[in-house]
Amino acid sequence: MIALRRGDQDRFADLAGRLEDFANRHPGSPEIARTVGYVAISGPLERGDLDLADQLVGNFLAAPPDDWPLSPDRLWVVLAAARTQRARLATQPRNRQVVAEVAARLQALRSLLAGAFGISVLPALPAAQLVTFQALAGKGSLKEWDAAAAAWRDLGHRYELASALTAGAAVALAVSSRSSARLRLREAHDRRRSAGRAAAVTDR
């Protein structure tokens, strides 16, 4: 997913194609299937092809796994699906059909995670993913995004931290808190830059 986050769509498409080919040759692997699901949704989402991303979310929700134990790989798929719905709502906030479809999709995702929210103690990664889902599927308040940012900051996950900070900055700007928005955007920029450097070293 580094290629996708860095905006290298050509490389991402190549790697996604290889992954899908590998999955087709190993149809019995549910872990690979879920990874393909995340990549499949995230690709068009990052390109701005929300219709395709939403179609893939619909496919995912139409045939969810029979069992849904809490695991990070499955939660990544849910986060990609929730981000797709939030992006759709942001682009067409007054389209009643889209608003209704988004609400239905988010409710379906909440249903998949219904048992997770009753767990008092969770490992750090799924806990951060769930907090982020709540921000995406809920009101998206500054408090929710700050909670998500804090969780990713504790994990040292720079990409997700930068995303949560950017979302929080947008909320801060909406309530005319420019200084608060600047602080979040500055940290997000620094995190993305350091993540880019780390990825560049990894590629060598």
65 and 162 fall within a common domain:
no
How many domains, in total, are found in the chain? 2
- Looking at 89, 121, 153, the residue that finishes a domain is 121
4 and 104 fall within a common domain:
yes
For residue 128, being part of any structural domain is answered with no
Predicted pLDDT of residue 190: 92
For residue 168, being part of any structural domain is answered with yes
Question: CA 50, CA 91: separation in Å to the nearest integer?
Answer: 10
- Looking at 76, 93, 121, the residue that finishes a domain is 121
115 and 145 fall within a common domain:
no
CB within 8 Å of 57: residues ≥ 6 apart: 41, 80, 81, 84, 85, 105
For residue 143, being part of any structural domain is answered with yes
For residue 132, being part of any structural domain is answered with no
Structural domain for 147, as ranges? 139-204
Q: What is the mean pLDDT of each run of 10 residues along the chain (204 residues)?
A: 48 59 54 64 86 88 66 86 96 96 95 75 89 95 97 93 96 94 95 68 43
